[in-house]
Structures are given as structure tokens and as C-alpha cells.
């Protein structure tokens, strides 16, 4: 009981108009890595056919549907309803963080406001999500990384176009940010520094499931060591001596 009470409590708010129902299990699993999900709500106009894909998930994952009618043709009012609901939850002080599932730049100010209140913000959206929204979150997860096959360290198919650049520069920048004057740092500290530099940083973007696997691809730049005296073992990283 004590351990559970120390977990961060998250509210998951889903814009059903621009999110994929098929990725819901993976999205919830990602949030569960950070804390305990206590509120799950999905917003949309449930009188329209485009919300049908979500209906099977409502009971299975205990998600509360919130109805929002479209008062004007061609105008989406879901984002306004979701923002108002998020602010009510913020002021209730019943949660420690939010997961905003959307690819819309309209949620940028919401994410910023939640962070200003000292709460943790996870964003989940497609790679087309505007950079302003991704950078407004503490952690942003691309849907494309969640929908990839689960084969360990599977590399993207060669024929598939990729906008992923070489991660080595940001890895080095993250190490320098985390290390300061230290020679060895925890791998987790490097991960935190990388999310500071880029909330959307994710090893899966580069074909690796974990940061440790990505670091191993650069033995000329980084050296890893494992401390098995701890439970669980702790991984440390340093710059490779030239």
C-alpha cells in the first residue's frame, strides 16, 4: 500500500477525433511506466461514425466517454471540451500528471500551463505533431514508435523513409549536460538529460527498444559498465577514452 501511494497519479485524456484506437493498450502501458492511471477519459462526438472504433475499448479499459457535439459544420470543438476538463482536474489537485493523446497544436498552451503548475505532462501523437506541442511536454511519444513490431531492437525496413537523423550528437550533448564533472553517470541520468533536450527523444525512433541498446551502437563514443551489486543492477555510462 505504501509503495502504491508514492506513485504519481495520472489522468489520461484522449482526443478521439485525432487518435488511434488500435494503439490504446500501448499508450496505457507507456503511462503505467511513469505512475498509476486514476482517470481515463476520451472526448469526441459519439453520434458520428468516426468514433465507432473506440466503442469496444470503453468497457475493456474502463474509459469514460465524454460527449461533445459539433455545433458548427467543419469546426472541431473536442479540443475546447478537453482543455476545460483538464483545467478542472488541474485545480482539483487530485492528479500529479497528465497524458494528452492528440497531434493537435491547440494543446500546446494546455501542456505549458500544466507544467507551470509543477505537474508532469506526457504527450502521445503522430510524428506530424507540431514541434511546439512536443516541446511543451515533459515526455512526448510518437505513435509510430508504438505501432512498430515488438521484435527486440528491430531496425526499420530499409525501404521505409525515415526522418530520424544521427542520434550521436544529441547523445553526446545529453551526456555533457548530465555528467558535469563526473566521469561515469547513471544511464537513467542520461535518459533524463536527453528528455530535457528533446521531449520527443525515443530510442525506438532509431530502431532500438532501449537507450542501452542505442548507446551500444557507438562504442567509439561511449563505454558501459554494470554494477551487479545492486538490485536491480545499475548501468553506468562514460565517454570512451581515446
In a domain, 20, yes or no: yes
- Same domain for 63 and 132, yes or no, is yes
- Same domain for 141 and 197, yes or no, is no
- Same domain for 176 and 217, yes or no, is yes
- Same domain for 213 and 102, yes or no, is no
| Per-residue confidence band for 109, with pLDDT thresholds at 50, 70 and 90 | very high
Q: Is the dihedral of CA 148, 208, 198, 11 positive or negative?
A: positive
In a domain, 91, yes or no: yes
CATH of the domain at 187: 3.30.420.610
Q: Are strands 64-67 and 97-101 parallel, antiparallel or unpaired?
A: unpaired
In a domain, 157, yes or no: no
CA gap 59, 61 in Å, rounded: 6
In a domain, 155, yes or no: no
> How large is the C-alpha radius of gyration of the chain?
20
In a domain, 154, yes or no: no
- Same domain for 13 and 114, yes or no, is yes
* Cut 0.75: pTM above it: no
- Same domain for 127 and 181, yes or no, is no
The SS3 assignment for 196 reads: helix
Over residues 106-114, the mean pLDDT reads: 94
Which residues form the domain of 36? 8-146
- Same domain for 110 and 142, yes or no, is yes
Among 83, 116, 146, where does a domain finish? 146
- Same domain for 45 and 126, yes or no, is yes
In a domain, 162, yes or no: no
Among 111, 146, 181, where does a domain finish? 146
- Same domain for 122 and 174, yes or no, is no
- Same domain for 141 and 177, yes or no, is no
pLDDT tens for 184-239 read 999 999 998 998 888 889 999 998 999 999 999 999 999 999 988 877 888 999 99
Residue 124 pairs in a beta bridge with 101, 141
Burial class (CB in 10 A: 0-12, 13-18, 19+), 210: middle
CATH of the domain at 31: 3.40.50.1010
Look at residue 98 and tell me whether its pLDDT is greater than 50: yes
Cell triple for residue 206? 532509431
Look at residue 58 and tell me whether its pLDDT is greater than 60: yes
Pick the closest to residue 134 from 205, 56, 211 (CA basis): 205
Q: Are strands 185-186 and 234-239 parallel, antiparallel or unpaired?
A: antiparallel
CA gap 232, 242 in Å, rounded: 31
pLDDT tens for 1-49 read 334 446 899 999 999 888 888 899 999 999 998 899 999 999 988 888 8
Total structural domains within the chain: 2
Among 115, 146, 177, where does a domain finish? 146
In a domain, 2, yes or no: no
- Same domain for 129 and 79, yes or no, is yes
In a domain, 80, yes or no: yes
- Same domain for 62 and 126, yes or no, is yes
Amino acid at each position: 500500500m505504501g509503495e502504491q501511494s508514492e506513485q504519481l497519479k495520472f489522468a489520461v485524456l484522449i482526443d478521439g477525433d485525432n487518435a488511434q484506437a488500435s494503439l490504446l493498450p500501448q499508450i496505457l502501458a507507456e503511462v503505467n511506466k511513469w505512475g498509476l492511471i486514476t482517470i481515463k477519459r476520451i472526448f469526441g462526438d459519439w453520434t458520428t461514425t468516426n468514433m465507432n472504433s473506440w466503442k469496444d475499448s470503453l468497457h475493456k479499459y474502463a474509459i469514460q466517454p465524454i460527449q461533445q457535439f459539433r455545433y458548427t459544420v467543419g469546426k472541431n470543438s473536442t479540443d475546447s471540451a478537453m482543455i476545460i476538463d483538464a483545467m478542472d482536474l488541474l485545480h482539483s489537485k487530485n492528479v500529479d500528471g497528465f497524458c494528452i493523446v492528440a497531434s493537435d497544436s491547440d494543446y500546446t498552451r494546455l501542456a505549458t500551463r500544466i507544467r507551470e503548475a509543477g505537474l508532469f505532462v506526457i504527450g502521445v501523437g503522430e510524428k506530424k505533431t507540431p514541434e511546439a506541442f512536443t516541446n511543451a511536454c515533459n515526455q512526448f511519444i510518437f505513435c509510430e514508435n508504438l505501432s512498430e513490431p515488438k521484435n527486440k531492437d528491430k531496425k526499420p525496413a530499409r525501404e521505409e523513409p525515415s526522418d530520424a537523423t544521427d542520434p550521436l550528437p544529441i547523445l553526446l550533448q545529453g551526456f555533457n549536460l548530465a555528467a558535469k564533472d563526473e566521469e561515469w553517470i547513471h544511464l537513467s541520468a542520461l535518459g533524463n538529460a536527453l528528455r530535457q533536450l528533446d521531449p520527443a527523444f525515443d530510442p525506438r525512433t532509431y530502431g532500438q527498444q532501449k537507450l542501452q541498446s542505442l548507446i551500444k551502437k557507438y562504442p567509439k563514443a561511449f563505454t558501459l559498465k554494470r554494477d551487479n551489486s545492486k538490485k536491480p543492477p545499475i548501468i553506468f555510462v562514460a565517454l570512451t577514452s581515446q
